[in-house]
Amino acid sequence: MSHPRSATVLGPGPFKARDLPSGSNYELDDGHAVLCMPTKGRGGSAQRLGAQVIGSDPLVQHAGVEVGFQLGEGTLRAPDVAVMAGAPADGWQQEAPPLAIEYADSGQDEDDLHTKIGQLLRAGTRAVWVVRLNRIRQVEVYTLGADAQVRRTVAQANEQLTLPGVLSRPVPVAALFDREAADHATFENLLARFDLTHPDVARDEGREEGREEGREEGREEGREEGREEGRLAALRDAAGLVLAGRAGEAAQVDIAALDAAALLRLIAGQA
């Protein structure tokens, strides 16, 4: 999230990426320092949801928030949320993120935003998603065409976004800013990541299997207990991963003490 350039210059420059320490409040635009101001509450909350959804996709190994990507000797950019092409580096990431997400709210510096989008795409980023929060909730999708020109399409809140090869599952647009939609998308991602059956499907399959197994007298009780224990273990794993993305909640919840219904409510954000 970039803010007006009038408050962004730090000294005369030009600077190089190696001149900025980790945790710096600055990005670099062709050697010029760009100050990244604190994010407002609405943007910060949405940014956390986007990182949760993207990071839980089965195909994503590493994702981060405001990670610095060195796109050239004098260009360093830190998207609000990004998928990393490789393992997290001790310094700046040297390879452009396959997917970058920017959250744009009131006070957005549109000129710097579009400069940043172009720099990311020309450095190898497959797509930049700009989530608009201060107008009709929608996502602008930026890609680079075969003619090296930036292309823009728009997805509305009831649509889904895909990026084959980077994400294995579609991302509902609403999941990038709405808590309930984000939690549902994360839950579905975690089921796919850990090859778990959705509890509703497992319940139906268990009932049908139970009818067949009921013919084998003396073995039904043990099988049912085993299935239930397996379902509970899977739900507890999923709940733990979801809570890890909710600041302040993990330490307050005793997952082991919850039954299946309570775990499902917690994962869906209804607890």
Task: Specify which residues 75 forms β-bridges with.
Answer: 72
> For the chain, how long is the longest CA-to-CA vector?
83
Token couple for 118: 């172009």
**Does 159 score more than 90 pLDDT?**
yes
Looking at every residue in the chain, the average pLDDT score rounds to 83
Q: Could you tell me the fold of the domain covering 5-171?
A: tt1808, chain A (3.90.1570)
Contact 58, 168 (CB under 8 A): yes
pLDDT of residue 28: 83
Sign of the alpha-carbon torsion through 228, 233, 237, 243: positive
Domain-wise residue ranges, the chain: 5-171, 194-267
In the 8-state DSSP scheme, what is residue 154? E
DSSP single-letter state for residue 37: P
Cα angle 121-122-125, degrees, rounded to a multiple of 5: 35
Higher pLDDT, 173 or 136: 173
**Where is pLDDT greater, at 211 or 133?**
133
Residue 264 Cα distances to 62, 231, 235, 258, 260, angstroms: 26, 11, 7, 10, 6
Two structure tokens written together for 216: 């084998």
For 35-44, 90-99, 122-131, 241-250, which range has the lowest pLDDT when averaged over its residues? 241-250
Does residue 5 surpass a pLDDT of 50? no
Quick one: tokens of 69? 């990507």
Name residue, tokens 């700009």: 130
Question: Has residue 165 got a pLDDT over 60?
Answer: yes
Q: Return the H-helix or E-strand segment holding 221.
A: helix 220-244
> Can you name the residues that pair with 128 across neighbouring β-strands?
100, 142
Question: Is pLDDT of 97 > 80?
Answer: yes
Q: Kindly indicate the confidence band of residue 271, based on its pLDDT and cuts at 50, 70 and 90.
A: low
**pLDDT tens-digit map of 41-51:** 788 899 999 99
Residue 230 structure tokens: 């397996």
| pLDDT > 90: percent of the chain | 50
Sort 182 into a burial class: Cβ within 10 Å, 0-12 / 13-18 / 19+.
buried
Q: Model pTM?
A: 0.69
- Of 67, 57, 73, 115, nearest to 88 by C-alpha is 67
For residue 98, the model assigns a pLDDT of 98
The number of beta carbons lying within 10 Å of the beta carbon of residue 186 is 26
